[in-house]
Amino acid sequence: MTEPLVQLDGIDFHYDPERPVLRQCSLTLSPGDRVGLSGPNGSGKTTLLHLIVGLARPQAGRVVAFGRPRTEEADFHDVRRRVGLLFQESDDQLFCPTVLADVAFGPLNLGRPRDEAREIARDTLSRLGLAGFEDRVTHRLSGGEKRLVALAGVLAMEPEVLLLDEPCAGLADDAAANLAGLLAGLPQAMLVVTHDAGLLARTTTRRLRLAEGRLWDARG
């Protein structure tokens, strides 16, 4: 039996004890899984992604990634190398002055030689329709362009798992359709948070809904 990549087991989480965000949430993501996650605004979808990579910690339950329980900050360093998280806000993810530097940062941080990291960055930008953007200044990009550059930075690290928080937010219809096609062809397991039914239909094979602190199957 294939070992799951990521498991959330009986997770409870709150920012305010009087207002629980997640209650006894369990989730398993295995190789090849393509899971869509929807739910009302403020239901905890982003929080759930952050728990997987250790940006938030549960009050109860377990996070297990790649066969190991993860509890301390040091436990999540390896997880963040193997799980690519696309943040809901692109400005939270872009911090280098140029597009090429930003996308190459991840491969460099993984120990790739500088020339190789830059080549990976160029190739990834090209796959996302951003050839020619290498010298563009990141903070001057449009919202949709920032979204694609942030995703390029995630994909350039060649993660085993993708956690995508509203990946098509801010994109024009044609760019969103192109991105959906690209995501549908990727080999990684992925968890896609979106309200976009068309994106879910093209990129996922199983769907969950988060509401009132709990995860539910969302069939059909």
In this structure, what CATH number is given to the domain that contains residue 51? 3.40.50.300
Q: What are 196's two structure tokens? A: 């976009």
Nearest CA-CA partner of 41 in 210, 220, 216: 210
* pLDDT at residue 121, rounded to an integer: 97
* pLDDT at residue 44, rounded to an integer: 93
76, part of any domain: yes
1, part of any domain: no
Nearest CA-CA partner of 51 in 78, 30, 31, 79: 79
* pLDDT at residue 220, rounded to an integer: 47
Intervals of the chain under pLDDT 50: 220
* pLDDT at residue 1, rounded to an integer: 62
* pLDDT at residue 219, rounded to an integer: 65
212, part of any domain: yes
* pLDDT at residue 174, rounded to an integer: 87
What pTM did the predictor assign? 0.93
Structural domain count, the chain: 1
130, part of any domain: yes
d(C-alpha 25, C-alpha 12), whole Å: 7
d(C-alpha 3, C-alpha 28), whole Å: 10
Domain hosting residue 125, numbered range: 6-217
Residue 154 half-sphere exposure toward CB, CA atoms < 13 A: 28
